[in-house]
């Protein structure tokens, strides 16, 4: 039976409620990213952090395992996040880079499989990630680690986990339909912590950014407003080493590396 705990937490001027579950598969040891399917109801994709083979886990909203699918044509060095585009492609971010030494960072593109029928997923493209402002390998301090990825209007976006100063820097790819992808630095923000995941709502108006101690919700009336210049709201959390976040309508789904999954609903005070 799934363990479930309903809690109410008051954070700033918001009321926050959550239900908490545990993954029902011991194979999900260190969930480091999560995304909700847009094609299949009550389906989420997650993956382990470094040290695992290249594979995806299909789960439902309570952490029940639906399937485990190896990913062909992919390597697992340090998978840190997962995103989904409107065409049904998954993007797996092999961008963990704790010491800023890696020169093989990149994102795998995987057409979303059907976990009730398919037994394997296949990476059809690898998009290299090269920071345009990194000059040294390793970089000291280590400011070119990243664990946050999303897709919007034919571009990939990455937020860094800067160990040196607690800020985060936003990078954007050139359009994904170009044969060669390059990256540009767009913006930065003092977020007061280490960024471990991010997700953009399907309408583009809400960006959720996760750190170990808080969720930042950056909101805008217009989806084309610069992401890091939006009105922000901070929701403090205590959820262990939390490294996965995604939107499910008005609910935020969090995962941590302790085998837990949390569905969080927040309501703004009037």
pLDDT at 25: 97
pLDDT at 268: 53
Beta bridge partners of 7: 18
State how far the Cα of 16 lies from the Cα of 1, in Å rounded to an integer.
25
User: Which CA distances in Å does 76 have to 43, 96, 123, 210?
Assistant: 23, 10, 12, 23
pLDDT at 14: 56
pLDDT at 6: 32
Query: Is this model's pTM higher than 0.75 or not?
Result: yes
Count of CA atoms in the C-beta half-sphere (13 A) of 40: 17
Q: What is the pLDDT of residues 57-109, one digit of tens each?
A: 999 999 999 999 999 999 999 999 999 999 999 999 999 999 999 999 999 99
Q: What is the pLDDT of residues 17-38, one digit of tens each?
A: 899 999 999 999 999 999 999 9
CB atoms within 10 A of CB 79: 27
State how far the Cα of 204 lies from the Cα of 227, in Å rounded to an integer.
9
Question: What is the per-residue burial (b if ≥16 Cβ within 10 Å, else e) of 87-123?
Answer: eebbbbbbbbbeebebeebbbbbbebbebeeeeebbb
4 has pLDDT over 50: no
How high does pLDDT run on average in the chain?
93
Tokens 């210049």 sit at which residue? Answer: 229
State how far the Cα of 260 lies from the Cα of 265, in Å rounded to an integer.
16
Residue-range domains of the chain with CATH: 5-244 (2.115.10)
Give me 250's structure tokens.
Answer: 């008005």
12 has pLDDT over 60: no
State how far the Cα of 219 lies from the Cα of 204, in Å rounded to an integer.
9
Of 250, 267, 264, nearest in space to 18 by CA:
264
User: Which CA distances in Å does 191 have to 62, 160, 166?
Assistant: 30, 11, 7
Residue 206 CA, distance from chain mean position: 14
User: Which CA distances in Å does 119 have to 61, 122, 148, 230?
Assistant: 21, 10, 27, 41
Average pLDDT over residues 117-146: 97
Average pLDDT over residues 160-177: 95
Cis peptide before 141 (omega within 30 of 0): yes
Cis peptide before 138 (omega within 30 of 0): yes
Q: What is the pLDDT of residues 199-237, one digit of tens each?
A: 999 999 999 999 999 999 999 999 999 999 999 999 999
């Amino acid at each position: 039976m799934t363990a479930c705990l309903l809690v109410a937490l008051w954070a700033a001027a918001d009321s926050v409620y959550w239900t908490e579950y545990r993954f029902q598969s011991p194979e999900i040891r260190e969930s480091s990213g999560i995304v909700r399917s847009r094609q299949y109801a009550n389906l989420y994709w997650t993956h382990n952090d470094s040290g695992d083979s290249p594979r995806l886990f299909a789960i439902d909203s309570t952490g029940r395992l639906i399937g485990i699918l190896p990913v062909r044509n992919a390597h697992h060095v340090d998978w840190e996040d997962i995103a989904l585009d409107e065409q049904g492609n998954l993007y797996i971010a092999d961008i963990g880079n704790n010491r800023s030494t890696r020169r093989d960072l990149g994102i795998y593109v995987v057409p979303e499989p059907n976990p009730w029928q398919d037994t394997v997923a296949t990476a059809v493209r690898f998009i290299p990630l090269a920071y345009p402002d990194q000059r040294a390998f390793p970089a000291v301090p280590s400011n070119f680690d990243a664990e946050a990825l999303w897709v919007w209007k034919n571009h990939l976006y990455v937020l860094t986990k800067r160990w040196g100063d607690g800020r985060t820097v936003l990078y954007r790819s050139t359009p994904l339909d170009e044969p060669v992808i390059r990256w540009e630095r767009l913006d930065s923000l003092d977020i007061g912590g280490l960024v471990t995941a991010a997700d953009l709502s399907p309408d583009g108006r809400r960006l959720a950014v996760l750190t170990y101690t808080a969720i930042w919700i950056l909101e805008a009336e217009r989806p084309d407003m610069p992401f890091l210049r939006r009105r922000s709201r901070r929701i403090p959390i205590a959820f262990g080493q939390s490294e996965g976040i995604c939107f499910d309508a008005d609910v935020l789904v969090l995962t941590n590396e302790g085998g837990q999954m949390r569905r969080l609903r927040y309501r703004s005070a009037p």
